[in-house]
Amino acid sequence: MNSYKTIFPLVMIVILFTTNIFAATGKSLQNANNDPQDIKSLQSGARNFMNYCSGCHSAEYVRYNVIASDLDLSDAQLQENLMFNAQQPFETINASMPSMDAAGWFGQAPPDLSLMARAKSTDYIYSFLKSFYIDQSSPTGVDNLILAGTSMPNVLWELQGHQVMIGEQGSEHLELSNPGKMSEEEFDIFLRDTVNFLEYISEPIRNARRALGIKVLMFLAFFLILAYLLKKEIWKDVN
Ligand code: HEC
C-alpha cells in the first residue's frame, strides 16, 4: 500500500513532464540561439525589422528613443537607419500600412509584434520565417510549414531564395530551388538578429532588470554574513 503511495505521484510527474515536452516540440521548431545581451546583433536586428517588417507590422509598445539609448545608437544613426515611419524620437513604431487596408489586402491584419517573442518564442518566429515554400494554389504564391495557410507573404524571398516542399506527408522537408542574395549562413544570422530584436522589444527593461537583480543578490549575501557575525557576537556569552 505504502509503495503505491510513493510510486503513483512519481508516475504522474513523469507523465506530465513527457507530455509537456511533446507539446513543446510538437512542431519541431529550430533553435534561434539568439542572445539579447549582444548589442551588435540587436542593432542589426533593429535595422532588419525596420527595413523588412515595419511596412506591415507595428511595434506599438516601444519608442525609438528607448531603442536608441538601449542599443547605443546616436541621434543621427537613429534618424538615418530606423526612423522611416516617424517624425519624433519619442514616437512608437507604427506600421506604414494602415491596418484596415492591410486586413482587406491580406484577409488578416498583420499583428503587432511588440510582444510576439514572448507570446510565441523566438524559436517559433525564427522557424516560421525560414519555412515559407512555393505553393501555386495560395493567393500569396507561398505556404508555410509552421503556420499552414498563413496570409503573410514570403517577404524575405529575395534574401533567402525560393524553397519547395519535397517528400510525402509525414516526411516532408523544404529544399532551396533558387538561391537568394544571401548564403544559408548569412540568412540564418539575418533571422537570428531579427528575432533577437523582437525578444528585446518584448521586454526592453530585461538587461537592466537582470543587472539590478545581481546587485540585490550581492547585497543580500553581504547582509547575511553581517547578520551572522552580529548573531555570533550577541550570543557569545550565552553559548
Ligand atoms: C507584406 C506585409 C508583411 C510583412 C512585410 C511582414 N509580415 Fe508578418 N505577417 C503579415 C500578415 C498579413 C500576418 C498574419 C498572417 C496570418 O495570421 O496568417 C503576419 C503574421 C506574422 C507573424 C505571426 C505568425 C503567427 O503565428 O501568428 C509573425 C511572427 C510575423 N508576421 C513576423 C514578421 C517579421 C519578423 C517580418 C519581417 C521580417 C514580417 N512579419 C514582415 C504580413 C507581413
Q: Provide the sign of the torsion angle of the four alpha carbons 29, 176, 152, 79, taken in this order.
A: positive
Query: How does pLDDT run across 3-38, given as a tens digit for each residue?
Result: 667 777 777 777 666 655 444 445 689 999 999 999
Closest atom of ligand 1 relative to the 198 alpha carbon: 35
Q: How many CA atoms lie within 13 A of 163 on its CB side?
A: 21
d(CA 173, CA 127): 13
- Give the per-residue pLDDT at 17: 63
Q: Inform me whether the pLDDT recorded for 171 exceeds 90.
A: no
Q: Which residue has the higher pLDDT, 176 or 101?
A: 176
Q: Which atom of ligand 1 sits closest to the CA of residue 106?
A: 12
* pLDDT tens, residue by residue, 216-239: 999 999 999 999 999 999 999 886
Say if residue 2's pLDDT is above 70. Answer: no
Query: What is the per-residue pLDDT for 23?
Result: 47
Q: Whose CA is nearest to atom 8 of ligand 1?
A: 152
- Checking if the pLDDT of 170 tops 90, the result is no
How far is 1 from 12, CA to CA, in rounded Å?
A: 17
Residues framing ligand 1 (Cβ under 6 A): 52-53, 55-57, 106, 108, 110-111, 116, 120, 125, 128-129, 147, 150-153, 155-156, 194
Ligand 1 centroid, distance to 163 Cα (angstroms) = 18
Q: What is the pLDDT of residue 22?
A: 47
Which atom of ligand 1 has the smallest separation from the CA of 153?
1
Digit-coded pLDDT (tens) for 117-163? 999 999 999 999 999 999 999 999 999 999 999 999 999 999 999 99
Q: What is the distance between the alpha carbons of residues 32 and 96, in angstroms, rounded to a whole number? A: 27
Q: What is the Å distance from ligand 1's center to 58 Cα?
A: 10
Q: Residue with the nearest Cα to atom 36 of ligand 1?
A: 53
Determine the atom of ligand 1 nearest the C-alpha atom of 54: 5
Comparing CA positions, the residue from 194, 158, 196, 192 lying closest to residue 53 is 194
Residue nearest to atom 42 of ligand 1 (CA): 152
Residue 155: CB atoms within 10 A of its CB come to 15
pLDDT at 95: 85
Q: Which of 44, 56, 151 to mutate to test the pocket of ligand 1 (most atoms within 8 A of CB)?
A: 56
Share of the chain above pLDDT 70, in %: 91
pLDDT of residue 16: 65
Atom of ligand 1 nearest to the CA of 53: 37
Q: Minimal CA–CA distance to 60: which of 84, 86, 93?
A: 93
Tell me how crowded residue 234 is: count the other CB atoms within 10 A of its CB: 9
State which of 51, 57, 116 you would mutate to test the pocket of ligand 1, scoring each by most atoms of that ligand within 8 A of its C-beta: 57
Please tell me the distance from the alpha carbon of residue 98 to that of residue 94, in angstroms, as a whole number: 9
